Chain A
Amino acid sequence: MIPCKPTGSKLKIIFLSFFVFSVFQVFAQGDVAAGKAIFNSKCASCHQVLKDGTGPALAGVESRHNWSDHNELLKWVNNPAAYMANDSYTQGLKTKFGSMMTGFADVTLTDIGNVVAYINDAATPKTPTGGSGGGEPQKTTNNALIFGIISLILGIIALILMQVNSNLKKMSDDAEGIVRPEPVPFYRNKIYIALLAIIFFIVGGYLVAKGAIGLGRQKDYQPEQPIFYSHKVHAGINQISCLYCHGGAWDSKHAAIPSVNVCMNCHKAINEYTKGPKLYRENGDEVDGTAEIAKLYKAAGFDPNNPNAWDPSKAQPIEWTKIHNLPDHVYFNHSQHIRAGKVQCQSCHGEITAMDEVKQVADLSMGWCINCHRQTKVDFNYTDSTGNKFYSIYERFHNDIKAGKMDSVTVEHIGGLECQKCHY
């Protein structure tokens, strides 16, 4: 047993030190979110965290000059001209970057603390949290592989044990002097042959059936496109709406491939790829984004050094490779699904916003279509402004819903399984 119990004064000191420590922590850490907001509105047009821009990179700012004292930093930010007058370090910065920093007289000491907290937070490399997300699908294939290997090993062990068993039997027979007919080797053993034949029949039949069903289906088709256009960069990181380029999906049967002028809406100005993550082809080759943009310029007939001379009418179309293909005897309409049905693009095309090279995610088989039509509930509301007035004609369903006979209407109920809806 420990006899000592902290006296009152000791306890007070400990408590006080904790208190001071925590206060210090709060002061030193600042509010990262608030700092980010200030950084983006005031600093970001010239400063980046990790790279020099119009002004120096701000990572590690506290370790430079006497900036560890936020009061000094505040003086500098509030009035750079006055501060610089008798400070050689900031004068050096002006010579290096060619211009003096704009003053922000409204910035307070708290703001400085918050911004520094944000910079320190942004400058620390983030360790990826856990093995979640991306690792999951790989795990399942690994499991299948492991199960396969285990069953193979077990099968081989069983075979060896059977051989050992027959050998032992033979040895004991020899020892006891029992004469038996010479055992049939396993490759002439009728039971073995019959078992093998059955296994071959089942496995072969399965593979043949699977191959025959898969013939003509293009799931996972991921062709190399003439330009490495990353949907991840455009639709994911830069949040460009799918409909910006594929506006036809809203209005027509085809989702439409954008013409070169749509690319040039942004790429007239964005002529290099520097700010996004590194790009890789599926085989691991690194892609030079700037060179890919140059390919677009070639098709558009655009000279980035002489942008005013560009004549959009001379642009040549880029021959993209079509990935999703439906046979001639199937009718599919994008606008019907996107606009009337309110289906997300990602439901059929997968996580496009995470794909560098697009691949076909759905197998586009009829079973796949039908399955979705069976499960998808129709937004049957037609009374308010967001609803579709067309659904008012289904009187019986509306009455049934009111009477509690059915809780929802699926696409199947309104004819989504009729052959001639899609085949005509």
Chain B
Amino acid sequence: MKRKVTISQVVTIAFVAVVMLSCNRVRRSPGRAYMPDMTYSRAYETYYTSTEQLKQKGINYDGTPVSGTIARGDMLFIYPFKNDSVGYAQSGTVHNPLVVDSINMTEAERLYLVNCGICHGPKLDGNGPLWKGGDGPYPVAPKNLMGDDMKVLPEGTMFHSVTYGKGQMGSYASQLNVKQRWEVIAYIKKMQNGAAAKPATVTTDSTATK
């Protein structure tokens, strides 16, 4: 009688221990699926494989579009200069092909806040959250876009820098298409020319900040 109770106690403790251990487990495996060939696509989906891996299987496909392709929503504009000092010097001759008044500034502001604001600051003062007056992780001070030197910078040179990168700044050609780049530049020019009174804390989309 007494022995039986001890056994049940041991079983209880073991059970509780198992429950507690299983509670703390991190799930590192996706688990099983009923129909793996439906759960995991048989076709090559985005990110499932790289072009290198495809080449090893004898599939000569890389996702690069044919040169000269213009994506939907983008614009026909071919920037004439190369990424060198000559191109940079001549870039000032290029002007914004968009009609500035027709640009949706709310969208341009959103693009600025998403892509540029983290360094150059929501107020364009070069004090974005990555710099934070020197407290942020970024080791060098981003350019103050409201500075006098930036106010006189031609929009073509801005386009050159955004497209190819400048100094520590990388190329934004993969994140902003040609049209978006010109929209952002138009937004910066508009803010530089005195629309700065408007507080830039307005986040136009739900995901821009936080």
Interface residues of A (CB under 8 A from B): 40-41, 44-46, 48, 141, 145, 148-149, 152-153, 156, 159-160, 163, 167, 214-218, 220-224, 235, 238-244, 247, 249-251, 254, 256-257, 259, 261-262, 264-266, 268-270, 273-276, 282-283, 312, 316-317, 319-320, 322, 325, 327-329, 338-339, 342-345, 353, 359, 385
Task: Specify which chain A residues have a CB less than 8 angstroms from the CB of B27 in the assembled complex.
Answer: 218, 220-222, 359
Task: Give 12 pairs: A residue, B residue, CB < 8 Å, sorted on A.
Answer: A41-B133, A153-B12, A214-B31, A239-B209, A265-B169, A269-B139, A316-B52, A317-B50, A328-B43, A338-B206, A344-B207, A345-B207
**Interface-side segment among B110-118, B152-160, B185-193:** B110-118
List chain B residues, Cβ under 8 A from A328: 38-39, 41-43
Does any Cβ of A come within 8 Å of B149's Cβ? no
Q: Contact between B135 and A327 (Cβ–Cβ < 8 Å)?
A: no
Q: Identify which of B29, B30, B114 contacts A247 (C-beta below 8 A).
A: B114
Q: How far is the CA of A156 from the CA of B16 in the complex (A)?
A: 14
Q: How many cross-chain pairs have Cβ atoms below 8 Å apart between A and B?
A: 163
Contact among A243, A256, A262, A274 for B114, CB-based, below 8 A: A243
Q: Is the CB of A215 within 8 A of B32?
A: yes
B26 within 8 A of A: yes
- Separation in Å of the B109 CB from the closest CB of chain A? 13
Task: Provide the residues of chain B in CB contact with A224, threshold 8 Å.
Answer: 28
Given A221-B30, A239-B118, do A148 and B19 touch, yes or no (CB 8 Å)? yes
Which residue of the partner chain A has the closest CB to B16?
Answer: A149
A257 to B50, CA, bound (A): 13
* Contact among B38, B48, B115 for A244, CB-based, below 8 A: B115
Given A44-B133, A241-B208, A325-B40, is A269 in contact with B168 using a C-beta cutoff of 8 Å? Answer: yes
How many Å lie between the Cα of A273 and that of B207 in the bound state? Answer: 26
- Beyond known contacts A149-B16, A266-B130: 9 more, CB 8 A cutoff: A40-B133, A40-B134, A45-B133, A243-B114, A251-B73, A262-B170, A262-B175, A269-B168, A275-B137
Contact A266 B138 (CB under 8 A): yes
What residue in chain B is nearest A214 (Cβ atoms)? B31
Closest to B26 in A: A282
Interface flags for B85-100 (1: CB within 8 Å of A; 0: not) read 0000000000000000
Interface SS of chain B: loop
Contact of B207 among A145, A148, A249, A325 (CB under 8 A): A249
Cβ-based interface call for B140 (8 A): yes
Task: Find B134's partner among A45, A327, A342 (CB 8 Å cutoff).
Answer: A45
B197 within 8 A of A: no
Is the beta-carbon distance between A145 and B19 smaller than 8 angstroms? yes
B56 contacts the other chain (Cβ, under 8 Å)?
Answer: no
B20 part of interface (Cβ distance < 8 Å)? yes
Which of A149, A218, A342, A359 lies in contact with B31, CB distance below 8 A? A218
Contacts of B73 in A (CB 8 A): 251
Chain B residues in 8 Å Cβ range of A342: 205-206
Selected contact of B129 from candidates A156, A239, A283, A316, CB within 8 Å: A239
- Distance of A281 Cα from B38 Cα, bound (Å): 32
**Do the beta carbons of B170 and A270 come within 8 Å of each other?**
no
A53 to B16, CA, bound (A): 52
Contact B31 A215 (CB under 8 A): yes
The reply to whether B134 and A241 form a contact with Cβ atoms under 8 Å apart is no
Question: B66 within 8 Å of A by Cβ?
Answer: no
Q: How far is the CB of A274 from chain B (nearest CB, A)?
A: 8
Most chain B CB within 10 A, of A48, A141, A328, is at A328
B39 proximity list for chain A (CB < 8 A):
216, 325, 327-328
Please pick, from B9, B52, B106, B133, the residue contacting A156 in the complex, using a CB distance under 8 A.
B9
B59 at the interface (CB under 8 A from A): no
Q: Which B residue sits closest to A218, measured CB to CB?
A: B30
B1 CB-CB contact with A under 8 Å: yes
Determine the distance from Cα of A363 to Cα of B191 in the docked complex, in whole angstroms: 44
Determine the distance from Cα of A71 to Cα of B50 in the docked complex, in whole angstroms. Answer: 66
A329-B38 CB under 8 A given contacts A241-B113, A269-B140, A275-B135: yes
Residue of B35, B117, B174 ringed by the most chain A CB atoms within 10 A: B174
Assess the A145–B129 pair: CB atoms within 8 A. no
Interface membership of B69, Cβ < 8 A: no
Collect the chain A residues with CB atoms within 8 Å of residue B139's CB.
Answer: 269-270
A259 to B73, CA, bound (A): 22
> Does B61 make an interface contact (CB < 8 A)?
no
What distance in Å separates the Cβ of B33 from its nearest Cβ neighbour in chain A? Answer: 4
Which residues of chain A have C-beta atoms less than 8 A from B46's C-beta? 254, 256
Answer whether residue B198 sits at the interface, using C-beta atoms and an 8 A cutoff. Answer: no
Interface residue B78 (Cβ < 8 Å from any Cβ of A): no
Contact of A238 among B28, B34, B115, B118 (CB under 8 A): B118
User: B1, B20, B42, B115: which contacts A163 (Cβ < 8 A)?
Assistant: B1
Given contacts A327-B38, A329-B38, contact A241 B31 (CB under 8 A): no
